Structure 1
Amino acid sequence: MDHESSVAPVAEAEPTAPAAAPTLGRRRRSLWPLVAALTVVVVALAVALVVVRSVDDDRPRAAVGQLFDSPFQQDDLADYGEVLLPWARTKTGAGDVREELPDLLGAAANVRAPEGGRFVRVEVKLEKDYQIPLSAIARPYAQETEVVLRADGRDYPVTGRGGLVLDPNGPLQQGGGRWVAVEGDPTDLEVRVTVDGVTQVVDASDGSVEAGQAVDLAELPSQEEIRDAPDTPCGAPRRLDDSEVRVDYRPGLECRVQFTLRTPYVDGLGWAEEGREFLIVHVVRPHRLSLVSGRGDDTTYWDDELELSARLGDAQPLRPAGNVNQLNAGFLSIQDPDDPDQLVFDVARGEPVADLTIDYRGEATDGEPFVSERRPVHFQWTIAGGDLS
């Protein structure tokens, strides 16, 4: 009995093995501080790596307002607006704000954004059928086209040195795109295009345009329409002088209106006043005329230079007549074999115009040197205002 009783407690003590589970749990819990510490080390190391990478980026920072060309940029912007220059139709807009410039053939750009700033792309591209008939009173083209990126109320010029070129007498490569280094991370972007005091505003978010007076440029005919328009003969002239000088070669006494154009803008004069526009008239006429006086053995022949003057109703042209070929002179310009003259008048917008009166005057000099006689000649044509529309 004593032996049995001594054995019984041993048998009852056998279920002690499960008690080991709490010991394993304590061991696992004891590892948690170590895991947490390792996690902190990893995060700290990652932060340290980022900091080290930033410190190692020794690329220079762009100055605010600095412009950058990206000749390999091919992507179009999401939204463009149509901006009309006095000589060209364009599509204009601004792209999304970016932290980095595009890669250079796969390598990172060699410049960073300004401290805390970004880059914005601005484009002004000529349309394929871009040409708008340009009227001017002198050469070269006088007015500059100013393009400005407005970002959160601050203006960044995009034309000028290193910027976009928009000049009808300039190089073949016109317009294009530039990256602009800007302050901060702007959200309100617009492109402002100004010519001679009139500004067109493109909202970069949707391409909508506030065109102002420049919207009237859209009504101008195309180059093809102008070229195909028929000439208007001036008709038979009236002879207003009482000289006996005669025209030796009558077909040379020609006058015809080559074309007319009503436009809101003339380079050198600016934009027409409200409710007004400019009437451009190109007149083909002889610059010299073959004249004759006397009869028989006393007949004298000579060439005489003729001066052109004109008026529209009672209104004089805004400037003296200008030679169209001289106004068009320049790189790749096409000279008109008819050698017309240009007249510019101020008229009421959209209203009929008065009759056009054209005068040719010459002052022939006949006789020996120092014993000569001045003999004026004066021819006049009248073209009905209805024929000028």
Structure 2
Amino acid sequence: MLRNKRTAWTAALVVLLAVAAGVAFVGLRDGGDLEPGFVAQGSSGRPPTHEADVQLPIGTLRLSSGEPLAEIAARRVGRSGAESLEAAGDASIVPVAWTFRPTLSYDDLLGYPATFTLAVTAGGERVALGEPDVDLHQAADSGDLPGQDLIAVVAGDGDDLRVEVTYEGEKQVVTMRSGKVATGRAAALYPDGPRTYGTDPDCDARGAGEPAEIANVDAGAGSISCRIDPLTRTPYLPDLGWAREGHVWTTLTVRVTAPPTISWIPTGTSYQVRREPVTAALSGAEVARAPRGDQDDRSTWVRTWVFDSPADAPADPATDAATGLTVSAPMSAVRPQDATDGPATVPFGVDQTFTLRH
């Protein structure tokens, strides 16, 4: 399977290079000079002088560029015959390279588009570099990071070189000389990708009842528990696209477990467990995608919400903590009708407000 994936990646590169080669022929003057718009796979053979990282929802794209050149050896751009090729007029030859490193596991990347587009601008003109299609399986699991070295010819002296990276319609622009990135709606991905938050205190599935009564409840071989997965804040999700400017998508997953029946310890009577709907609220946020119950079984039910949240969540700078997550998952143990000893119902479940900690 891995070989097939590598073959697919190689094929994608071949297609990209074929397109680049077509542009290169257009960008050659009759005398052999390289016009702006020329693009070919190749390297100047010199170390890069500028580097910058661009955060995408699927990972980190590291860009590098070299000092602009007036000429380059023909063999370095796949040409034979002439020993060297020169940039036409006041144009410049610019080495550009990229490598991609996923920041999510392969399972988490499922459903994400794997393509992005690259272009460079200089001297007021734009040169398209192509649309790589990253093999996310290979990149995430094999450690073999995809990348490419390119030679582009741009207008002017190349000192104002910028690289455009576009993912699902959202463009980020990197000024290579300074390394600064105009992030647009991708700002929440910086500095290191989507942020995750844990909850404090721990979720307590027995906390919504009277302690004295809950102490007399026995789950037997089952368990009464609650877990809140780390909350993820990201500006992009495959099914919702990019969040609006100044907002992010916050994903919350709650897992509550209780057996179908529990025992009232003083009498040994078996009580039926009744579940009520699980609800959640995040202060300052609106529900963008409501939860479904398609992961439920007889003992555990799972609910996942996506909230439309402000990107600048209220936080305590000293602790990096934000408050305002409330989760309710009420349950009750119901005594059978033919039993007379013990309480008719024993309420329990989740009814908590949490602090989020990064």
Same structural fold, with TM-score higher than 0.5 when normalized by the shorter chain: yes
Name whichever structure is richer in helix by fraction.
1
Partners of 1:205 and 1:283 lie apart in 2 by 46
1:121 aligns with: 95
Partners of 2:25 and 2:207 lie apart in 1 by 69
Partners of 1:217 and 1:251 lie apart in 2 by 40
Contact map agreement 1:357 1:380 (CA 8 A) in 2: no
Structure 2: which amino acid aligns with 1:384?
Answer: T
What are the residue-to-residue correspondences of 1:299-338 with 2, within 5 Å? 309-312=279-282, 317-321=287-291
Partners of 2:64 and 2:270 lie apart in 1 by 68
Q: Deviations over 1:127-183 (max 9, x none)?
A: xxx56469x9994103742221124333233232xxx44564564554523324546
Unaligned runs of 5+ in 1: 1-59, 240-245, 294-298, 326-337, 363-377
Inter-CA distance 141–197: structure 2 relative to 1 (3 Å threshold): same
Inter-CA distance 305–159: structure 2 relative to 1 (3 Å threshold): farther
Contact map agreement 1:132 1:222 (CA 8 A) in 2: no
Name whichever structure is richer in strand by fraction.
2
Partners of 1:270 and 1:93 lie apart in 2 by 28
**Correspondence for 1:262 among 214, 233, 239:** 233
Quick check: 1:382 aligned with 2:351?
Answer: yes
Unaligned runs of 5+ in 2: 1-22, 28-36, 210-216, 264-268, 315-321, 333-346
Query: RMSD between aligned alpha carbons?
Result: 5.3
1:177 aligns with: 148
Inter-CA distance 274–314: structure 2 relative to 1 (3 Å threshold): closer
Identity in percent: 20
Inter-CA distance 315–379: structure 2 relative to 1 (3 Å threshold): farther
Structure 2: which amino acid aligns with 1:140?
Answer: G
Partners of 1:272 and 1:344 lie apart in 2 by 11
Quick check: 1:147 aligned with 2:128?
Answer: no
Q: Name the SS of the counterpart of 2:189 in structure 1.
A: helix
Partners of 1:208 and 1:321 lie apart in 2 by 39
Inter-CA distance 258–157: structure 2 relative to 1 (3 Å threshold): same
Q: Deviations over 1:174-232 (max 9, x none)?
A: 45233245466663421111234443222234434333443432255899xx69x6875
Note the C-alpha offset of 1:341.
Answer: 5.7
1:192 aligns with: 164
Structure 2: which amino acid aligns with 1:283?
Answer: V
**Correspondence for 1:279 among 250, 257, 260:** 250
Inter-CA distance 231–252: structure 2 relative to 1 (3 Å threshold): farther
1:234 aligns with: 203
Quick check: 1:359 aligned with 2:329?
Answer: yes
Pairs aligned (count): 285
Q: Name the SS of the counterpart of 1:317 in structure 2.
A: strand
Contact map agreement 1:319 1:344 (CA 8 A) in 2: yes
Partners of 2:223 and 2:81 lie apart in 1 by 68
2:313 aligns with: 350
Structure 2: which amino acid aligns with 1:109?
Answer: R
2:179 aligns with: 207
Contact map agreement 1:280 1:343 (CA 8 A) in 2: yes
Q: Name the SS of the counterpart of 1:80 in structure 2.
A: strand
2:26 aligns with: 63
Q: Deviations over 1:4-50 (max 9, x none)?
A: xxxxxxxxxxxxxxxxxxxxxxxxxxxxxxxxxxxxxxxxxxxxxxx
Contact map agreement 2:114 2:136 (CA 8 A) in 1: no
Structure 2: which amino acid aligns with 1:350?
Answer: A
Report the TM-score when normalising by structure 1.
0.53
Q: Deviations over 1:68-103 (max 9, x none)?
A: 334x87643111123222243343233324544563
Report the TM-score when normalising by structure 2.
0.57
Partners of 1:314 and 1:78 lie apart in 2 by 44
Quick check: 1:78 aligned with 2:78?
Answer: no
